[in-house]
């Protein structure tokens, strides 16, 4: 039996306050299927790219990560924009690059940012969605987000999600967009191999890593071996040269 979404208190955020600012260059462009003249051409391509940029991390927008079947279905009006967003969230690329590289708390936060277009209200909201993810799985978690009243009221079936009210009049520039934030948290980052670090087999040493600075401080034993081979090679060359010379 899956648990219902836990209640969490909301707080005043930018997107919950009516804005009166004059639209500028930094204001988000709204991509909607309702405004498309046709289901082919640059307009639909721009909408598709906006969906990838919002759901995927900007650096994940690679050719082999594209969902061609979903794109074709969207172009043929067989699915809505909301269905397309659902397909991207459940795709193998998103699961592999975002879901598998995060714990439930971080994954829930990323999805709230990219799907609902806002920051999480508090740690309790993050906990509530992470519990739902653990009990219903990623399919149930995605469906709950896309079927939520907040999503339907702001984006409906035809609008690509975007970061709401990123700009405030008293600021010189807006907040960093969610699409430019890292797709994983610090716990996953700290587990990544460090540059110049070589792991050692278990039981061979108490050290976890061995760092060799080849240019400044090479290992003494390796330096002795290299010098022996170098001078030995010179001596062997001299002997061969004298043998040939004397033989002549």
Three-class DSSP category at 198:
strand
66/52 Cα distance (integer angstroms)? 8
Phi first, then psi: give them for residue 49, nearest 5 degrees: -65, -40
- Using CA atoms, how far apart are residues 84 and 73, in angstroms rounded to an integer? 9
Beta strands in the chain (DSSP E): 197-199, 209-211
State the DSSP string of 120-157: -S-HHHHHHHHHHHHHHHHHHHHHHHHTSHHHHHHTTT
Residues in the chain: 248
Task: Write the Ramachandran bin of 38: left for phi over 0, alpha for psi from -120 to 50, otherwise beta.
Answer: beta
pLDDT tens-digit profile, the chain (248 residues): 556 677 766 765 666 666 655 555 566 788 898 877 666 678 899 999 999 989 987 667 777 788 999 999 999 999 999 999 999 999 999 998 889 888 899 999 999 999 998 888 889 999 999 999 999 999 999 999 999 999 999 999 999 999 887 665 555 555 566 665 666 665 555 555 655 544 545 444 444 444 445 555 666 767 777 788 888 888 888 878 778 777 65
Residues sharing a CB contact under 8 Å with residue 17, sequence separation 6 or more, in sequence order: 165
């Amino acid at each position: 039996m899956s648990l219902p979404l836990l209640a969490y208190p909301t707080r005043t955020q930018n997107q919950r306050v009516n804005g009166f600012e004059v639209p500028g260059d930094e204001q988000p462009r709204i991509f909607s299927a309702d405004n498309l003249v046709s289901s082919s051409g640059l307009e639909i391509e721009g909408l598709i790219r906006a969906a990838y940029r919002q759901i995927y991390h900007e650096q994940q927008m690679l050719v082999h990560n594209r969902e061609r079947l979903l794109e074709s279905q969207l172009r043929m009006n067989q699915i809505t924009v909301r269905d397309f967003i659902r397909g991207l969230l459940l795709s193998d690329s998103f699961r592999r690059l975002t879901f598998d590289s995060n714990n439930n708390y971080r994954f829930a936060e990323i999805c709230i940012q990219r799907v609902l277009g806002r920051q999480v209200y508090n740690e309790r909201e993050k906990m509530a969605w992470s519990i739902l993810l653990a009990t219903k799985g990623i399919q149930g978690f995605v469906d709950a987000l896309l079927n939520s009243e907040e999503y339907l009221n702001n984006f409906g079936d035809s609008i690509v999600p975007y970061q709401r009210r990123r700009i405030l009049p008293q600021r010189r520039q807006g907040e960093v967009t969610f699409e430019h934030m890292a797709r994983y948290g610090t716990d996953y980052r700290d587990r990544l191999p460090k540059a110049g670090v070589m792991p050692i087999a278990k039981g061979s040493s108490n050290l976890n890593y061995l760092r060799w600075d080849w240019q400044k401080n090479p290992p003494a034993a390796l330096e002795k071996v290299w010098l022996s081979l170098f001078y030995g090679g010179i001596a062997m060359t001299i002997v061969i040269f004298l043998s040939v010379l004397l033989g002549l």
